[in-house]
Amino acid sequence: MDESDFEGTVVLERMAEIGRVDEFFDAVDEDDVERVVSLMKKAEIDAATIAVVLRKIEESDGEH
């Protein structure tokens, strides 16, 4: 899972708005689900989108 998985998405746009894109991708790379969720909540991302991101992280586990 990398930046191309999020290009053009609300998630990436919101992370950019709060200045946390790099921190978000670090958390994703480290499979730090708690931090990923925390950052998305700070960016005011809705629960359904958070669930999709978490599913993508789970599906890509070990592939990054």
- 46 belongs to a structural domain: yes
The pTM for the full model equals 0.81
In this prediction, residue 7 carries a pLDDT of: 55
- 64 belongs to a structural domain: no
- 7 belongs to a structural domain: yes
pLDDT in tens, the chain (64 residues): 555 556 567 899 999 999 999 999 999 989 899 999 999 999 999 999 899 889 888 887 655 4
- 29 belongs to a structural domain: yes
What would the DSSP string read from start to end of 6-49? TTTSHHHHHHHHTT-HHHHHHHHHTT-HHHHHHHHHHTT--HHH
In this prediction, residue 9 carries a pLDDT of: 79
Helix (H) or strand (E) holding 62: none
- 35 belongs to a structural domain: yes
How many CB atoms within 10 Å of residue 7?
A: 8
Number of domains in the chain: 1
Domain residue limits at 26: 3-59
